[in-house]
Structure 1
């Protein structure tokens, strides 16, 4: 799963230089290093005039929900690839609400010795951000109007399995266009694991009250206590 992300000095101008033809959102991307669910996060959708940037609430609200936003209690920040096409909360967005979720990196927590240790995953190359397959639903509720989104997740691949058992569906620019064009997620090329790097970070990121660039800095993993029982 993906439950926290970072926007490390991301700008629409930077993304437009990378993603040709991208029209930026009116509001800039806020630099944050501890972005939780329900925050506004950058997404990109395809429109008749080309790629369009926007900010969407992280946590998809399906179109059938008629109550207030505060009445929606389900966890819909992530959608599993195994069920997104048929799950009631996600199937409409899977058919007609595809987007890209943009992040400088994301966090996962590794359970080790009964303690959760956060790790930060980010691009290993020159890409300014990770492109994650996303689903979007635009809603008009009494207490919120605008886009909402979820991140597609899948079983983890290769070495990242020691950190967590799931990961976002991540793509390069070409595959991102395929996703927005309707390519089935099972046929979508993923970025190679060599394009992703990760390291353990301090546990201060576990509290959404903490913020700052030091949250993504690597730490040396604690050595196991050989004398503990």
Structure 2
């Protein structure tokens, strides 16, 4: 499960994002499904913006809100064969860079958010993503997997976070259920925040 995440610092990655006018594109710390996010598409890692909530190319609607299925995440165990994702699985591999993401623990009404970030010398995380173009709109989904030992104490699922040696294989169409198993992340609790809240203070330790 991944329902909120943070924009990456792409200046540190050497990726050409000048076309995004990055200086006037403030970094976001509370990205939500249906927001536009930066993706790196295909084996050439072409940067583009995509709506975070995948709509399959075959859907016949005219308004994105007509697509009701919750497709902002795609389980790696079933995406290959699930009708919503199988076209993107074959033809729409991408990376979705992130500065980190959130998960919540506790009971409804008193949930505690936690911020997950890289525990390596790489500042950004690179989620395995699926990209689908629907009615000339780029849409995407973050691929998830069972939690590894770094995440499991807090949550049973996590994004598929690709290491340096896995990204080329993912973008090239490899089918490996172990993608992301070795991803090293660390986490800390943060202050509860609301859906419209924004700013770097959201990721500060509580």
Fold similarity call, TM over 0.5: yes
Residue aligning to 1:36: 32
CA distance in 2, matches of 1:51, 1:119: 30
Q: Is the 8 A contact 1:35 1:208 kept in 2?
A: no
Residue aligning to 2:19: 26
Q: Which has the higher helix share?
A: 1
- From 48, 62, 68, give the equivalent of 1:73: 68
Q: Using CA pairs below 8 Å that are at least 6 residues apart, which structure has the higher relative contact order?
A: 2
Per-residue CA deviation, residues 15-66 of structure 1 (Å, 9 max, x unaligned), is: 2x2xxxx55372235401111111111111125xx32111111000001111
Q: Is the 8 A contact 2:40 2:94 kept in 1?
A: yes
Per-residue CA deviation, residues 148-191 of structure 1 (Å, 9 max, x unaligned), is: 10011111111422211100111112211110011113253x36
Q: Is the 8 A contact 1:152 1:169 kept in 2?
A: yes
Q: Kindly indicate whether residue 191 of structure 2 is the aligned counterpart of residue 192 of structure 1.
A: no
Q: Kindly indicate whether residue 196 of structure 2 is the aligned counterpart of residue 215 of structure 1.
A: no
SS at match of 1:136: strand
Q: Which has the higher strand share?
A: 1
Please provide the CA RMSD for this pair.
1.9
SS at match of 1:70: helix
Give the ranges of 4+ consecutive aligned residues of structure 1 lying more than 6 Å apart after TM superposition. none
User: Could you say if the C-alpha distance between residues 113 and 76 of structure 1 is closer, same or farther in structure 2, counting changes exceeding 3 Å?
Assistant: closer
Q: Kindly indicate whether residue 12 of structure 2 is the aligned counterpart of residue 14 of structure 1.
A: yes
Between the two proteins, the alignment pairs up a number of residues equal to 202
Q: Kindly indicate whether residue 57 of structure 2 is the aligned counterpart of residue 63 of structure 1.
A: yes
SS at match of 1:192: coil
SS at match of 2:117: strand
Which has the greater radius of gyration?
A: 1
CA distance in 2, matches of 1:137, 1:185: 21
Residue aligning to 1:89: 84
TM-score (structure 2 length as normaliser): 0.90
User: Could you say if the C-alpha distance between residues 30 and 149 of structure 1 is closer, same or farther in structure 2, counting changes exceeding 3 Å?
Assistant: farther
Q: Is the 8 A contact 1:25 1:54 kept in 2?
A: no
Query: What is the Cα deviation at residue 137 of structure 1?
Result: 0.2
